[in-house]
Every structure is written in C-alpha cells, then in structure tokens.
Amino acid sequence: MPETLALPIHVGFILDGNRRWAAAQGLPPLEGHRKGYENLKTIARAAFDAGIKYVSAFVFSTENWDRSKEEVDYLMKLLLWVAKNEVKIFDKENIRIRFLGSRERLNSEILQAIDQAEEKTQNNTRATLALCLNYGGWQEITDAVKRIIGSTLSASDITPEVIASNLYEPDIPPVDFAIRTSGEQRISNFMLWRMAYTELYFAKPEWPAFTPNDLKIALQDFAKRQRRFGA
C-alpha cells in the first residue's frame, strides 16, 4: 500500500455471504463459515500490513441465535476454537484481541476462553482485532444506558462522551470505514454508536471470496473521499 494513501484508523467488516458462497460452490452451508473465518485471518493481516490499527468483524450477532440449532452450535464451536487456539497466532504477531458483545447466553467455556484470550494479548501493540460476538448495536447502547443508570450520575451529567465511555471496550475508536460484502447495502445493527460518521463501502464478492486486492481497492476508494462530520 503506498505510503501516501490516506488510511482509516478503524475498519469494520460486516462478513456477509458465507452461506451463499458455500451454496455456489456446492458445499454445505457450515463450510462457508469455516472458510469465512479463514478469510478473516487473511484480510485482517492484509489490513494490519497496510497500517490499519483497528479491525472489527461482525462474527455473530444477537439475531443469529434465531438460526438453526445446528448452525448456532457449529458457530459457537468455531468461535471457541478461535478463542482457544488461534489467539496464539495473533499473539505472536503482536495483535491485541478484543471481544465486543453481551456475555448473556454464552456458555462458561466460551466466556473463560474469551477472558484468557484478551488477557494473553492485552499488552500487544501492533494493532487490535475486535471480534463482535453476540453483538448488536441496540444491545450495546442498551447495556451502556443500564451501566449509567446504575452509577451516581444525574441526568444533567449524561453526555455523548459519557455514553461512549460505557460502550463495550470503550477504548476502541469510532469506525472510519465499514465494508460489507456480498452486495447487500445495509449495516444490520453493527456498531451503531461508533458508525455515526462512518464511510460505507459495499463490495460484491461474498465474504469468503473477498481478497486482499478487493481490500486494496476499497481502501483506495476511501482515500479519495472527503470526509464530513456535519460541517
């Protein structure tokens, strides 16, 4: 990536199209999720190599619990395996791992693996990979409001900064650039607070087929934009 390219600090990925990709390849739908995770590693590395400091990925939403038990069970096992095993790879690459989402409905084994992964990588400084697990933008804001209500603050003390400081992992900055794959053009409850002024990009390939070159093209598109923040 050219040094003069204006890069976003935080890129958010809405990983859409895993099942459609699998169907087009004549593969079982669950194979699309496995391939989708493998591609997340590839694309995250490409983003970090380009100089991006934060990558967030929508890996399991609060609405995904409504999918079939077989699919939910598979995704939970895949995410547990990632938290237990793949974190070692990111740790060696000096990548900090963070999980954003509600802890409700996640079993104790997954919660323990999440906590251990975050602790293991907490001092890594190259970049941060934020995995949005059991995540929903509405739920994140709801949980933030609950924390504020439980504090000693009065209504007059509530500001956007106070709300932001009560989000999941509040040190993770706003999303500068959001990329959704598979041609769908919506944000689907992803990072609602952090995406107030996000530049949006909708790519045609399904997520497993999204390549580092597709990322390069997207970042070149971002660099051409003139960002406005209400001014």
- Catalytic positions are 16, 64
218 φ, ψ (degrees, to nearest 5): -65, -45
Residue in 97, 111, 94, 106 with CA at minimum distance from that of residue 40 = 97
Cα separations in angstroms, 175 against 21, 29, 108: 26, 30, 30
Distance CA 22, CA 38 (A): 14
CB count within 10 Å of CB 27 equals 15
Structure tokens at 132: 């949005």
Distance CA 7, CA 64 (A): 31
